[in-house]
Amino acid sequence: MKALNDSYDVVVVGAGPAGSMASYNASKNGAKTLLIEKSQEIGTPVRCAEAVPRLEDFGINPDPSFVKSYIRGGYLIAPNGKKIVVKGGKTDGYVVERKVFDKFLAIRSGQAGTQIAVKSRVTKIEKTDDGYNVFVNYLGDEYIVKSKIVIAADGVESNIAEYAGLKTKKNPKEICSCAEYEMTNVKLLNNEMMEFYFGDICPKGYIWLFPKGDTVNVGIGVIDSKKRAIDYLDEFLTHPLVEGRLDNAVPVEFKVGGDPVGGPIKKTVADNIMVVGDAAGHVSPLTGGGIGLSMDCGLMAGDVAAQSIRAENYSEEFLDLYEKKWKEKYYKLLMNDLKYKNILQKLSDDELNAIANSIPENLEEVDVGKLAIKIVAKAPSLLRHFKELL
Ligand SMILES: Cc1cc2nc3c(=O)[nH]c(=O)nc-3n(C[C@H](O)[C@H](O)[C@H](O)COP(=O)(O)OP(=O)(O)OC[C@H]3O[C@@H](n4cnc5c(N)ncnc54)[C@H](O)[C@@H]3O)c2cc1C
């Protein structure tokens, strides 16, 4: 087993989708890159409902080794059972086996030239004149490696960039508590459609059923709730909204995790360091989806890291190019989703039912701004929630 070198151009902390894509692009563009992952097996433990956008848009072939289901859209289901069908466009995608998918992304990065250290935890980083000393517990031994650039892709519990003064710690009230059973013998409404349930059954969040080949991910995310996420989930399994469809369901896996839905952190770069993925709040506050964003922002971080190595300029001013790139593409979307989430969290079951009754039953996309006009026209009492969107 190859030991760690003394120095690298780029050290990436965390081999989730953000870290594997960042290290892939850094290596592909010529930077000597090390990817460090604390788990002994990349992709585990899984804390995810495993829905990903069209992988072809990332130049990735949707290989059957990790693609478990094709997704063509979803049902948004109101407390009264009214279904809104959203189909086509951005709703196309896949449900993957993340244990395999995350490892696939890491393998792809390794094949581009990245050195990978698994079962290796970064314990701290320390600024030097020309970069960072990265302290790593590598397979039980302590190492210090030098790096010109560190990319913190260490997920929702991120603390690595805090050593550089970047504020990555999340407010617990903005972390969605999630619980999920992967179950077999579930009768879905449609094997290519996701199901989303809203209302008092899942305070300030939603319940999802995602098709995954022979199984279904049945999960919940709640915020600031009186009971634990799993208690709400267990109640849902016998709820009239899914009457009879989960009676014979058998769990084959149970997952828990926190999803940061408070929006992006203020600053994602400083001298010699960038932050990406969940660590940076690259997650839709409305849906909790972060895989596609993490992958894309990871590519941007890796690209800018390689450019900075070529230019021999690792300053915050240079790395700011990364922040500009991701903000240009995603900032408005993330901030709009934050606004929509804040509205959704305030709606009562009656109001959710009124909304479902006032919008078309079939949608090509969810354009909340346009829908708000229809909603308020049919249910004027909801104006107080939607007025800032009109
Ligand atoms: C229950 C649940 C369901 C979800 N469902 C979906 C979904 O269906 N679709 C979707 O798009 N998103 C979903 N998400 C969000 C999605 O999982 C994340 O947005 C995505 O994984 C972020 O990728 P990442 O690479 O930033 O972080 P992660 O995937 O969390 O990877 C971070 C990695 O860093 C490692 N690490 C952390 N600290 C260190 C350290 N000090 N040293 C070394 N390694 C370290 C961790 O072990 C981990 O492997 C869900 C989240 C939850 C909690």
pLDDT tens sequence across 218-269: 999 999 889 999 999 999 999 999 999 999 999 999 999 999 999 999 999 9
Is pTM beyond 0.95? Reply is yes
Domain 7-47+98-170+262-341: give its CATH architecture.
3-Layer(bba) Sandwich (3.50)
Q: How much of the chain exceeds pLDDT 70, in percent? A: 99
Q: How confident is the model at residue 149 (pLDDT cuts 50, 70, 90)?
A: very high
Closest ligand 1 atom to Cα of 256: 1
CA–CA gap between residue 345 and residue 356 (Å, rounded): 16
Q: What is the pLDDT of residue 387?
A: 86
Mean pLDDT on 116-145: 96
Whether ligand 1 lies within 6 angstroms of the CB of 175 is answered as no
Could you tell which of 122, 294, 326 is best to mutate to test the pocket of ligand 1, judged by most ligand atoms within 8 Å of the CB?
294
Task: Give, using CA atoms, the residue closest to atom 3 of ligand 1.
Answer: 48
Q: Please give the distance, rounded to the nearest whole angstrom, from the Cα atom of residue 160 to the centre of ligand 1.
A: 15
* Mean pLDDT rounded to a whole number for the chain: 95
Segment among 126-130, 355-359, 370-374 with least mean pLDDT: 370-374
Cβ–ligand 1 contact at 14 (below 6 Å): yes
Which pLDDT belongs to residue 340?
A: 93
Q: Which residues belong to CATH 3.30.9.10 in the chain? A: 52-95+172-260
Q: Tell me the average pLDDT across 287-297.
A: 97
- Rounded mean pLDDT, 133-139: 96
Residues 213 and 301 sit within 8 Å (Cβ to Cβ):
no
d(CA 375, CA 370): 9
* Type of residue at 204: K
What count of residues does the chain have?
Answer: 390
In degrees, rounded to 5, the angle at the alpha carbon of residue 54 between the alpha carbons of residues 79 and 39 is 90
Q: Is 160 helix (H, G, I), strand (E, B) or coil?
A: helix
pLDDT at 366: 81
Alpha helices by DSSP H, listed for 63-97, are none
88, pLDDT greater than 80: no
pLDDT top residue among 298 and 92: 298
Please tell me the predicted confidence (pLDDT) of residue 124.
97
Q: How far is the CA of 157 from the centre of ligand 1 (A)?
A: 9
Which residues in the chain are classed under CATH 3.50.50.60? 7-47+98-170+262-341
Could you tell me the fold of the domain covering 52-95+172-260? D-Amino Acid Oxidase; Chain A, domain 2 (3.30.9)
Running DSSP on this structure, what letter comes out for residue 216?
E
* Residue 301 reports pLDDT greater than 70: yes
pLDDT reported for residue 2: 64
Contact 34, 109 (CB under 8 A): no
Q: How confident is residue 368, by pLDDT bands cut at 50, 70 and 90?
A: confident
pLDDT value of position 370:
82
pLDDT tens figures, 102-113: 999 999 999 999
**DSSP letter (8 states) at residue 272:** T
Q: Is the CB of 152 under 6 A from ligand 1?
A: no
Is the previous residue joined to 45 through a cis bond, with omega within 30 degrees of 0? yes
Report whether residue 73 contacts ligand 1, using a CB cutoff of 6 Å.
no
What mean pLDDT do residues 8-30 have? 98
Instruction: Tell me the average pLDDT across 82-91.
Output: 88
DSSP H or E run through 156: none
Q: Ligand 1 within 6 A of 155 CB? A: yes
Amino acid in position 168: T
3-state SS string for 249-262: CEEEEEEEEEEECC
Does residue 1 carry a pLDDT above 70? no
Comparing 77-91, 287-301, 312-326, 329-343, the range with the smallest average pLDDT is 77-91
Strand 67-71 versus strand 93-96 pairing type: antiparallel
CA of 248 to the centre of ligand 1 (A): 31
